[in-house]
Amino acid sequence: MTEIKFTLNGKKQILNTDPNRRLLDVIREDFQLTGPKEGCGEGECGACAVLLNGQIVNSCSVPLANVDGQDIVTIEGFSSTKQYHVIKEAFAKAGGVQCGFCTPGMIIATQSLLSENPHPDDYEIKIGLSGNLCRCTGYNLIIKAVKTASKDGDGLW
Amino acid sequence: MKSYIAKNLVNALEVLNKDECEIVAGGTDMLIQNRSHTGMSIGYKTNVLYISLIKELDYIKEDSHYIYIGATTKLESILKNKITPIILKKIIHEMASPAIRHTATLIGNIANASPAGDSIVGLYALNAKVRCQCINGERIVPLHKFIRGVRIIDLKFNEMITEVIIPKNDFSSIAFKKVAPRKSDAISKMSFVGLLKIEDDLLLDLRIALGAVYITVVRNKDIESKYIGKNIKELKENIDNILKDYEPLIKPIDDQRSNKEYRKKVALNLIKDFLLNV
C-alpha cells in the first residue's frame, strides 16, 4: 500500500492503495466514474481516455503510480466546462454519435486536440483521433463534429 | 513484491542498488506484458521501480555534436521538439496514437527491445548510444551493442538507462517506411530506415536499418562502406549487388502480423526503392 495523491476532476484525492492498479480501475471502482470504459485494455481503442495534465492518455495503460501529484480529468469532470458543451453540441449536430461507447473518449480526444491546436485541418483531426476507434459512424461524421466544434467554439481554446 | 515510486534520480539509483527491480517509465508496454484481469492490479512478477515522475530526466537538449533525450521524456514531446532529428520525428509520428505518445517514452521503447520497436530502427541508423547510470558511476554504450536479442538488453541489475545520445548529422536523403495494417496504432510487420549523404555526386554516407526482420534491428556497416565513395550512377548500377548483400541478413519469422516470405520481399523492395530514388 502506498499513499497516492492526485487531483481528480478538480478535487484533491488521497488514496492508500496499490500503486500497481490501473488508473482506469481506480476511476471506475473507487470513484464510480463510468464514463471512461474498458474496450481493448491495451491502449488501442481510446474508450478509456482521460486527460492527464490536460492531455489525452489511455487510463487502461497508466499505472496509478504514474499519476501521483498529477491532474486527472474524466468526461464527468470535463462535462462542466464551456468547451464540453460546444463539443457535445457539435457531435449531436453532426451526427457523430451512434451507440455512444466511444463517445467519451472521442470527446476527450477532441478536447486534447483543440487545446493544443484550436483550428486543425482534416489531417490533423485524423491524427488527433487516431487512437480512438468507433465501429458505428465510419469517422466522417466525427471529423465533421470536430470541425464544427472548432468553428463554433472559436476563442474558447 | 515491492513497488517504488522514484521522484528523483538519486532516489531511483539508491532503490536499484538495494533491490532488483523492473523499471517502468510510461508503462504502456510493461502493463500489457503483465496484464491481469480487469479490476486487478498489474501482475508484475518482480519488484517494480516507477521512474515516470523523475522530472530531471524529462528533457531534450543539444550541444554542437549531440542531441540528448532523457529517460522520462515522452514520445509526443520528442515529436514536437524542433531539435529532434527529422527521421526520428517521422518515426514517432507513426508510433501508436497521441494518447500513448503522451505517456510512452523513447527509452522505454529501447528497453523493451522488441525487434518491431519502430524508434530503435531509426536510432540504429543514427548511431545512437545510451547512457546507463548506477549509484557508483555511468557508462555509455552504442545502442547496437546494448540490445542483445529479443527483449534482451545489456543492463546490470543496479543500472538504469538515463539518456539516449544521438550524434548530429546532415543527410541528403532520408526515408522511413512502416509496413503495418493501418497508419496509426499498429505494430510493424516490418520497418525500414534509409539515410544517405551525397556531395558532388559522391556517396559520402549510407545507412540502412531494417526492423522486424531478425532478432534485433539489421544494420551492417561493412555493406554500407562497400558502396560509400561511389558516384550516384555506380550506386544505382550496384543495386542488385546491394540487395544480394542484404538478402542473407534478412531472416524474419512468421507470426500473427505477417509471414517471413512477405517480410523479406518487402524489406528488399524498400532498400531498392530507397536507392532508386536517390
Q: Are residues B56 and B139 in the same domain?
A: yes
- In chain A, residues with a C-beta closer than 8 Å to the C-beta of B42 are 20-22, 63
Residues B157-193 have pLDDT tens digits of 999 999 999 999 999 999 999 998 887 778 888 999 9
Pairing of strands A49-52, A55-58: antiparallel
Residues A67-88 have pLDDT tens digits of 999 999 999 999 999 999 999 9
Contact A61 B5 (CB under 8 A): no
Helices (H) and strands (E) in chain A, counts: 6, 5
Burial (Cβ within 10 Å: 0-12, 13-18, ≥19) of residue B89: middle
ipTM surpasses cut 0.95: yes
- In chain B, residues with a C-beta closer than 8 Å to the C-beta of A68 are 5, 53
Residues B92-146 have pLDDT tens digits of 999 999 999 999 999 999 999 998 899 999 999 999 999 999 999 999 999 999 9
In B143-254, DSSP assigns E strands to 147-149, 152-153, 160-167, 173-179, 190-199, 202-211
Element (H, E) at B66: strand B66-70
- In chain A, residues with a C-beta closer than 8 Å to the C-beta of B103 are 52, 57-58, 61-62, 66
Q: Are residues B40 and B125 in the same domain?
A: yes
Q: What is the CATH number of domain A2-78?
A: 3.10.20.30
Q: Are residues B98 and B233 in the same domain?
A: no
Q: What is the CATH number of domain A82-152?
A: 1.10.150.120
Residues B14-72 have pLDDT tens digits of 999 999 999 999 999 999 999 999 999 999 999 999 999 999 999 999 999 999 999 99
Please tell me the distance from the alpha carbon of residue A23 to that of residue B216, in angstroms, as a whole number: 33
Contact B103 A44 (CB under 8 A): no
Q: What percent of chain A has pLDDT over 70?
A: 100
The single-letter DSSP state of residue B189 is S
Q: How many CB atoms lie within 10 A of CB B70?
A: 23
The single-letter DSSP state of residue A26 is I
Q: What is the pLDDT of residue B253?
A: 83
Q: What is the pLDDT of residue B254?
A: 84
Instruction: Output the domain CATH number for residue B224.
Output: 3.30.390.50
- In chain A, residues with a C-beta closer than 8 Å to the C-beta of B102 are 52, 55-57
- Choose the final residue of a domain: B136, B167, B198: B167
pLDDT higher than 80, residue A50: yes
pTM of the model: 0.96
Q: Are residues B92 and B210 in the same domain?
A: no
What are the residue ranges spanned by the domains of chain A? 2-78, 82-152
Average pLDDT over residues A112-125: 98
Q: Are residues B132 and B201 in the same domain?
A: no
Task: Pick the residue of B1, B93, B102 with the most A CBs within 10 A to test the interface with A by mutation.
Answer: B102
pLDDT higher than 80, residue B1: yes
3-state helix, strand, coil in chain A (%, to 5): 40, 15, 40
Q: Are residues B140 and B197 in the same domain?
A: no
Q: How many CB atoms lie within 10 A of CB A92?
A: 12
- In chain A, residues with a C-beta closer than 8 Å to the C-beta of B44 are 20
Task: Pick the residue of B24, B103, B112, B184 with the most A CBs within 10 A to test the interface with A by mutation.
Answer: B103
Element (H, E) at A106: helix A103-116
Q: Are residues B156 and B272 in the same domain?
A: no
Q: Are residues B229 and B144 in the same domain?
A: no
Burial (Cβ within 10 Å: 0-12, 13-18, ≥19) of residue A99: exposed
H helix runs in B153-251, sequence order: 221-227, 232-237, 239-246
Q: What is the pLDDT of residue B112?
A: 96
Q: Are residues B160 and B180 in the same domain?
A: no
Domain range for residue B112? 3-167
Interface of A with B (CB under 8 A): 2, 18-22, 25, 29, 38, 41-44, 46, 49, 52, 55-58, 60-63, 65-66, 68-69, 109, 112-113, 127-128, 130-132
Give the distance, in angstroms, between the CA of residue A101 and the centroid of all CA atoms in the same chain: 12
Q: What is the pLDDT of residue B256?
A: 82
Q: Are residues B86 and B132 in the same domain?
A: yes
Q: What is the pLDDT of residue B16?
A: 98
- Choose the final residue of a domain: B109, B139, B167: B167
Q: What is the pLDDT of residue A148?
A: 98
Higher pLDDT, A121 or B257: A121
Average pLDDT over residues B5-14: 98
Helices (H) and strands (E) in chain B, counts: 12, 13
Instruction: Output the domain CATH number for residue B75.
Output: 3.30.465.10
Which of B24, B38, B76 lies closest to A38 in CB terms? B38
Q: Are residues B151 and B188 in the same domain?
A: no
Q: Are residues B179 and B158 in the same domain?
A: no
- Contact (CB, 8 A) for B274 and B192: yes
Q: Which residue has the cell 503522451?
A: B102
Please tell me the distance from the alpha carbon of residue A116 to that of residue A50, in angstroms, as a whole number: 16
Q: What is the pLDDT of residue B258?
A: 86
Average pLDDT over residues A93-97: 96
Give the number of C-alpha atoms closer than 13 A to the C-alpha of residue A105, restricted to the C-beta side.
Answer: 31
- In chain B, residues with a C-beta closer than 8 Å to the C-beta of A125 are none
pLDDT higher than 90, residue B249: yes
Q: Give me the total of CB pairs closer than 8 Å, taking one residue from chain A and one from chain B.
A: 106
Q: How many domains does chain B contain in total?
A: 2
